[in-house]
Structure 1
Amino acid sequence: MKILIATRNKGKLKEFRSLLSDLGIDIVSIDDVFTDAPIVKEDGKTYEENALKKAETLYRFSSLPTVADDSGLEVEALNGAPGVFSARFAGEGLSDEENNRKLLSLLRDYPMEKRKARFKAVIAFVGPGIKKVFEGELRGHIAFEAAGKDGFGYDPIFIPEGYDKTLAQLGKEIKNSISHRAEALNKLKEFLKTIRN
């Protein structure tokens, strides 16, 4: 079985491959197999809308069973922001580091107990006659400053519940066992086991 992962994000693709590697499924990315794949505008109001839109669009384009996700960071003190705008929080096309700086700046006067946050991930699978959605969540809080080199996105400023280090400091092995995407991917993985033959 071959599955298309609908992302151009190298960090996200690496995480997908790592977490699904033991299934014996050929995992390909958009850039692995297509030079002319459509760019899907993530303009949905929810993670689910965005994930399904990407998966459906790229499934129609490629005819390959397609997995797409949308995820974001929701900060309680900011009424759930950045949310679906997480990737472009500091502005369209700006870096993870710039998004992190903006968020830290907005929270600079907040004490730790007011820095509660959660990562949320929604993964959509679209294949022949199949449309499924899987969700995951990781609760924690926002650090006072960025720390760590592993990971991507908001990993350097997010401290998961039960830990005293950021996701970027904890390393890939721990992150892959506790992350919001890992939770959703494990649900996808169980589903794929039922259909892969």
Structure 2
Amino acid sequence: MTELCFATNNRKKLNEVSQMLEGKYKLLTLEDIGCHEELAEEQDTLEGNSRQKAQYVWEKYGVNCFADDTGLEVAALHHEPGVYSARYAGPQRSDTDNMELLLKNLEEKKDRSARFRTFITLFLNGEEHQFEGIVNGQITKFWNGNQSFGYDPIFIPEGFDRTFSEMSTEEKNIISHRGKAIRKLVAFLKRNS
């Protein structure tokens, strides 16, 4: 079974991706490979941050790995919070604070359209590959649901009447930005195994 490190410390994200890999790959955590440091995200793009994290793990630990970076881009806020989505309301990286600030900033806006974008960078035997997933939708006025994480309780994907947070993990994975990017990653791994 192919071993791959997913360069994240986010357990909810790890569980989401594990389900999508359907047991075809042994998913290693940063802890599994002895990486206990916080991975830097110093780039000004999602692509750059995912590359920075995956490249660091590959170069320092010599392990095939992938890393993602995801951003919520809200049209009426000039595509904010974007690359700063996780720390939109400050360095404490609080999902609650981030959502409250976003809803406050949208109070006077009519356009509530938004999109989630995920970029995954894979380092496989030293070669770099990138995959993108996008889902369009709307920001709600109130929180709905208690599943998931991040901005899921206030994001309704296009064609649905429920937030990501009101969906099961399996349901969300079929349509989500991360789901789309992971399926591209898995398809690539299958073709190259």
User: TM-score normalised by the shorter chain: which range applies?
Assistant: over 0.9
The match for 2:19 is: 18
Check conservation: 1:38, 1:58, Cα contact below 8 A: no
Per the TM alignment, residue 171 of structure 1 is displaced from its structure 2 partner at its CA by 1.8
For 2:10 and 2:159, how far apart are their aligned partners in 1? 28
Give CA deviations for 1:116-161 in whole Å, capped at 9, x if unaligned: 0000000000021310000000000100011101111000000000
Gaps of 5+ in 2: none
CA RMSD in angstroms, aligned pairs only: 1.2
Gaps of 5+ in 1: none
For 1:171 and 1:177, how far apart are their aligned partners in 2? 10
| Residue 112 of structure 2 is aligned to residue 115 of structure 1 | yes
| Residue 164 of structure 2 is aligned to residue 145 of structure 1 | no
For 1:99 and 1:189, how far apart are their aligned partners in 2? 31
* Structure in which a larger fraction of residues adopt helix: 1
For 1:76 and 1:41, how far apart are their aligned partners in 2? 27
Equivalences, count: 192
For 2:39 and 2:138, how far apart are their aligned partners in 1? 31
SS at match of 2:54: helix
For 1:83 and 1:141, how far apart are their aligned partners in 2? 15
| Residue 132 of structure 2 is aligned to residue 135 of structure 1 | yes
| Residue 30 of structure 2 is aligned to residue 30 of structure 1 | yes
SS at match of 1:57: helix
For 1:18 and 1:141, how far apart are their aligned partners in 2? 26
Q: Could you tell me which amino acid in structure 2 is paired with residue 9 of structure 1?
A: N
Q: Could you tell me which amino acid in structure 1 is paired with residue 150 of structure 2?
A: G
SS at match of 2:84: helix
For 1:37 and 1:195, how far apart are their aligned partners in 2? 30
